Chains A and B, each alone.
Chain A
Amino acid sequence: MTAHTASRPNALTPADLQIGAGRRRRERAIGALFLAAAASSIVISAAIIITLAGNALNFVVQVDPGKLVTDGWFPRRGLYDLATPIVGTLVISGIAMAVATPLGIGAGIYLSEYAGRRSRKILKPIIELLASIPSVVLGFFALAWISPNIVQALFDAPLFNMLAAGIAVGILITPLVASVAEDAMHAVPEYLREASYGLGARRRTTSIQVVVPAAVSGIVAALILGVSRAIGETMIVSMVAGATGGSLFNLNPLDQGQTMTAAMTALAIGSDQVRGAALTFESLYFLGFLLFLMTFGLNLISDAFVRRVRRKY
């Protein structure tokens, strides 16, 4: 304190507190660099939309509308029945959700409301490990284990079928549904539980009638996110659902089926053929654009639900 008073005659001026020109220039350059990095994401989005929409538009303009409603999806023969891959996608996603909804939400409720601190610490990482399994591995597992040991053991079905693919996709999205649902229930404030226990409610009543309703937006968000992921899943359906070259319209889950994503890989794997036949390249991007719009819409809805939970608590 005394030192400061002593040096008051040559006290600091505002200029002393300002940074030097060189330091300021470096500061600006670094800031601009980070802004450029952030702006790259806009470039990526623009590139995605332009390439998808542009080629999809080419397809819509050039295709003969009569070929969009035929017996099946056979792009190499110029038959583009849109209902075939879309319905196949919906069948497989439906099966996947039938698997992932009870497993994911059940696991989420258990982790959030029942598991003790210690078991949570072990169980959660295992769920995360399950989430990290690449989809190609689950595709292999579906073909080598689920299809022969579950589907073919119960039903009269070929090795490649939509049911086995749907089950595997369900397993793939279960950890996602579980962790998003668990986050939502974890965000429910403790005082709601305490109030419920204070009224003499059991844990069962508290979980099902207090916590789950309070977190319902987040649970719905988890399920919508799951559907979005299931629709976009590619490797499992390409490996297990059959129909690599094309497919007739099919609703039976015990038979082969075509999804939008599997149709896309089938077209791309022989990439020379993609460029060869008349509209196959464009049809690939048309399916991609359709898929992009569907998942984008679902993600937006899911986001809106998540935000509703956040606003509430």
Chain B
Amino acid sequence: MAAQSEALSARDLVARRLQGGGSDWRSWVLEGALLLSLLVAIGILFVLVSDVLMKAFPVLVERPLDFLTSTVSARAERAGIIQAIIGSVTITLIVAALAIPIGVGAAIYLEEYARDSRLSRFIRTNIRNLAGVPAIVYGLLGLAVFSTALGLGSVLLAGGLTLAVLVLPIVVITTSEALIAVPTSIREAAFGVGATRWETIRSHVLPYAAPGIFTGTILSLGRAFGETAPLLMVGAIAGTFSFVGAPWEQLGEGYTTLPTIVYHWAGYPQAEFRALGAAAIVVLLGVILLVNATAIVLRNRYDRKW
């Protein structure tokens, strides 16, 4: 009898242990708290978007086209973002034309050409460090080198060059990751039939790495599109001015960009200017969320396991 009851209680004990000793409220609390922190982070995104949409509503409904095609003005009912759109697009094009070829080239050198030498290790560390330098420091570099030493002044070209330098390390790092993901056997196949290094890269490595490179590149262009602080250092105009022209006419002129104009309008206390700022954010966020969503979709689609 005694032995049997002891066995039963042992069984009960084990069962209780395995089932977690009845209601396990601590686990629930922890899981709830963790989920809550995630939901708060995500919830902020929704609050932000809905608040901006609400504030932008009067502008977006009453004069959507007029807002897109007017110049910056001290009178809220006439102000628009045409110069900012042209400025942002032109700067992004300059960044793309400079940072993509140099960045992809540097990544190809590091992953495909360089042996594990002291030089290549130094370049690698250097690029990682550059990626962590605050954006505003690039602004100081642009102010000293492009605006002052090269004598460009506070013009759009100086802004474009500054952001190209800022984005370069990001392009190198994302491209490197895409190149590393291509297995060595693919290269060996090309070398085996007598291809040179460049022929191997062009015909075998780059096609497989292309989706990854493309994803990283458009993400870094999105980053350039939303950058403000370094441009303020190299003379982006956070104020009113009248010049409008085609992108190539802008290069040597004063300029503004979408984020700069958001900064400008956010500084006014009046609700009409807040509405203008919010409307400019809608355009800015629209572009950036579109770019990022495209990148995520592309990555999920081409994510392959070798």
Contacts and interface: CB of A to CB of B under 8 A. Distances in A.
Interface of A: 17, 19, 23-24, 26-27, 30-31, 33-42, 44-45, 47-48, 51-52, 55, 102-107, 109-111, 114, 123, 125-130, 132-141, 143-145, 171, 174-175, 178, 200, 202-204, 207-208, 225, 228-229, 231-235, 238-239, 261, 264-265, 268-269, 271, 284-285, 288, 291-292, 295-296, 299-300, 303
Interface of B: 17-18, 20, 24, 26-27, 30-31, 33-38, 40-42, 44-45, 47-48, 51-52, 55, 101-106, 108-110, 112-114, 120, 122-123, 126-130, 132-141, 143-145, 154, 165, 168-169, 172, 194, 196-198, 219, 222-223, 225-229, 232-233, 235, 238, 259, 262-263, 266-267, 274, 277-278, 281, 284-285, 288-289, 291-293, 296
A36 to B, nearest CB: 8
A202 B27 contact: yes
With most chain A CB atoms within 10 A of its CB, the pick from B37, B136, B169 is: B136
A106 B33 CA distance: 7
B131 to A, nearest CB: 9
Contacts of B136: 232, 234, 261, 264-265, 288, 291
Contacts of B267: 239
19 contacts: A24-B196, A31-B197, A34-B105, A34-B109, A41-B123, A47-B145, A48-B137, A51-B140, A106-B37, A109-B34, A137-B226, A137-B259, A137-B285, A140-B262, A144-B278, A234-B134, A238-B229, A264-B136, A268-B232
A184 to B, nearest CB: 16
Contacts of A233: 134
Nearest to A126: B42
Contacts of A229: 134
B106 A292 contact: no
A291 B229 contact: no
Contact of B266 (A102, A123, A140, A202): A140
Contacts of A114: 31, 34-35
Contact of B292 (A104, A132, A140): A132
B38 to A, nearest CB: 4
A102 to B, nearest CB: 6
B48 A129 contact: no
A95 to B, nearest CB: 15
B292 A128 contact: yes
Contact of A133 (B130, B229, B277, B288): B288
A43 B69 CA distance: 41
A41 B281 contact: no
Given A38-B110, A132-B289, A174 B137 contact: no
Complex A-B, nearest 5 residue pairs according to Cβ-Cβ distance, in ascending order: A232-B134, A106-B37, A134-B226, A37-B105, A34-B109
A35 B102 CA distance: 10
A40 B197 contact: no
A238 B35 CA distance: 33
Given A130-B41, A143-B266, A35 B113 contact: yes
B165 A44 contact: yes
Contacts of A19: 194, 196
Given A132-B288, A135-B228, A271-B154, A292 B27 contact: no
Given A34-B109, A134-B288, A27 B197 contact: yes
B137 A134 contact: no
Contacts of A207: 30
Nearest to B202: A30
Max chain A C-beta neighbours (<10 A), residue from B37, B123, B219 = B37
A261 B197 CA distance: 46
Nearest to B154: A271
B38 A123 contact: yes
B135 A234 contact: yes
Residue of B222, B235, B262, B278 with most partner-chain A CB within 10 A = B262
Nearest to B225: A134
